[in-house]
Amino acid sequence: MKPVRIFLAIIISIVFLQADIGCQKKIVTIQNRERRDSFLRQGSSASKYIPGEIIVRFRPDSFDENGTLISESIKALNTEFGLISMEALFKDGQSEGPANLYKLKFPEDVDIEEVVTRYSEDPCVIYAEPNFIIRAFEKVSHVD
């Protein structure tokens, strides 16, 4: 009878530990301009981002059937800001994730806030945001 109690105590402990830990990974997605701008203005370490990088989700009609960018307005923005590279974050069939999500790299001296604003205003873009640096166990203030 004692082994059964010990086994149950272990199982119950594991369940409670899992409940306490919860989901430590937070994914912050800022989709409207006011929330994004508020987040950028914060002076906390949570508002730091990788210089010269943004994350953009494009509308599906921005690409042809081969996955080639066909949007002339996006091509113009890429040229204007000196795009260095454009990398798909989720490749078809390799992993699950949002379609048409890309990491764009620009020269490090480019004004990322300006780049994000201009890409966000383009009708071919669902959302654009800096490539934020978020560290494990870092306190992130709530953004309203």
pLDDT (tens digit per residue) in 116-126: 999 999 999 99
For the cut 60, the answer to whether the pLDDT of residue 98 exceeds it is yes
113: left (phi over 0), alpha (psi -120 to 50) or beta: alpha
pLDDT at 32 over 60: no
Please give the C-alpha separations between residue 101 and each of 9, 18, 42, 45, 104, in angstroms, as whole numbers: 45, 32, 25, 25, 10
In a domain, 14, yes or no: no
Report the range of poorest mean pLDDT among 2-6, 70-74, 98-102: 2-6
Domain count, the chain: 1
Query: What's phi and psi for 101, nearest 5 deg?
Result: -100, 125
Give the number of other Cβ atoms within 10 Å of residue 119's Cβ: 22
pLDDT higher for 7 or 87?
A: 87
Range of the domain at 97: 25-132
13 is a domain residue? no
